[in-house]
Amino acid sequence: MLTNRRSFLAGAGVATGLGALPLPTLSAATAAAAVEPDFGPKLGQALLSRNENPYGPAPSALRAIADTSKMGCYYNDRGHAKLTAMIAERFGVTPAQVVIGEGSTEVLCAAALAWGRKGAILAPELFWDTTVQYAERQGIKANRVALKSDMSVDLNGMAAALDDSVAMVHLCNPNNPTGMLIPPAELKAFVTKVSPKATVLVDEAYNELTDRPDDNSTIDLVKSGADVIVCRTFSKIYGMAGLRVGYAIASEENAAKIRSHQMSFGGNLAGLAAAIASLNDTPFLEQSRAAVLEGRQMILAAVSKAGLEALPSQTNFVFVKVPDANALRDAMASKGISIRGAYGKLNGFSRVSTGKMEDVARYAAALPELSAKLWA
């Protein structure tokens, strides 16, 4: 393992900060000879639109994938059971309380279906709602509550909207795409108040990137017996988005209900092997987190230099206030930089993810220039 953050980042050949940085380019000859990759960024693209962590998977995970790939002809029962037991031990629950899925998306979709067949899903108007959209396509009803004026989740409004028709309350904390964290005391008070009436599902995909991960989690409420489900993923801090491993921690009864609605079984060998190897790989996790936080600070500095503002983020992305998110997305794309455009009708915020430092540097250099051209 690499021994410190600087050596970790030096592998990309990048100096951090917003000073003058040579931006990577492809020569005409290199571009002509290069083959477009089947996975990851396109040639010459700074991919900052998908909340990925390009500093993973961990070296320990890569070794495990290589060592176990020859066993890909077999189903993965034992590896699945081992990872389940490891997660249970990590969080002080029983293996029967852990559900592993093909990314947390599968677990979230299964929960949405299982509870949605009993009643409506109550959720914020803006959050990572792919799973709720999936449930809606299956005929399940979703009730949405507007965010507060500062873009934070309106817990009081959600509590007021809870009635007997609601079977599940779905939150993402920190929220995506805003990056904002619900203060832990407020969230736990909310869960304690509403969970006797409806199951609370908390998507904690970005928890490990927050300032105090343990304090910001609601796993302790699962352990105390509250009707709450917590979902986590290996896609973010572990850098395993393409390997598709996620999990839920819940009561044994809720975990069994989620499993009954899953579409896959056993998991994929590469993802399980990587997850087993890196779950407790503290040196990698520390270095990965440091890289994400440094990239986030570079983005925030660029936002300030451009005369813009951003919401407070506890994730690997930043939600920047702009006059026209789609215009900025298109302008960045002309420079080979991929960021998100508008979320539905919300065109006043632009989401940009951290990524490789040289790619963040390209965004940081381009943002003040493009902002001046677009909105001078």
Structural domain boundaries in the chain = 5-58+282-375, 61-277
Torsion of CA 69, 75, 81, 84, to 10 degrees: 70
Cis before 41 (ω within 30): no
Residue 306: CB atoms within 10 Å? 19
Tokens encoding 8: 């970790």
- CA 288, CA 323: separation in Å to the nearest integer? 32
| CA-closest candidate to residue 76, choices 273, 213, 321, 293 | 273
Q: Tokens in use for 79?
A: 């590896």
The verdict on domain 61-277 having CATH code 3.60.15.10 is: no
How far apart CA 57 and CA 220 sit, in angstroms, is 28
In one-letter notation, the amino acid at residue 365 is A
pLDDT (0 to 100) of residue 35: 85
A 10 A CB-CB count for 74 gives 12
Q: What is the pLDDT along the chain (376 residues), one digit of tens a residue?
A: 333 434 444 443 333 344 444 444 555 555 556 788 999 999 999 999 999 999 999 999 999 999 999 999 999 999 999 999 999 999 999 999 999 999 999 999 999 999 999 999 999 999 999 889 999 999 999 999 999 999 999 999 999 999 999 999 999 999 999 999 999 999 999 999 999 999 999 999 999 999 999 999 999 999 999 999 999 999 999 999 999 999 999 999 999 999 999 988 888 999 999 999 999 999 999 999 999 999 999 999 999 999 999 999 999 999 999 999 999 999 999 999 999 999 988 999 999 999 999 999 999 999 999 999 999 7
Q: What is the rounded CA–CA span in Å between residue 191 and residue 277? A: 33
pLDDT attached to residue 24: 46
Q: Give the pLDDT score at 72.
A: 93
pLDDT of residue 1: 36
Cα-based distances in Å from 167 to 87, 150, 199, 236, 260: 27, 28, 6, 29, 17
Terminus-to-terminus CA distance in the chain, angstroms? Answer: 47
**CATH class of the domain whose range is 5-58+282-375:** alpha beta
CB–CB of 198/209 below 8 Å? no
**Two tokens, residue 174:** 């920190």
Regarding pTM above 0.85, the answer is yes
What is the full DSSP assignment across 106-175? Answer: HHHHHHHHHHHTTSEEEEESSS--HHHHHHHHTT--EEEEPPPTTS---HHHHHHH--TTEEEEEEESS-
- Cβ contact 309:297 at 8 Å: no
C-alpha 14/C-alpha 358 separation (Å) is 6
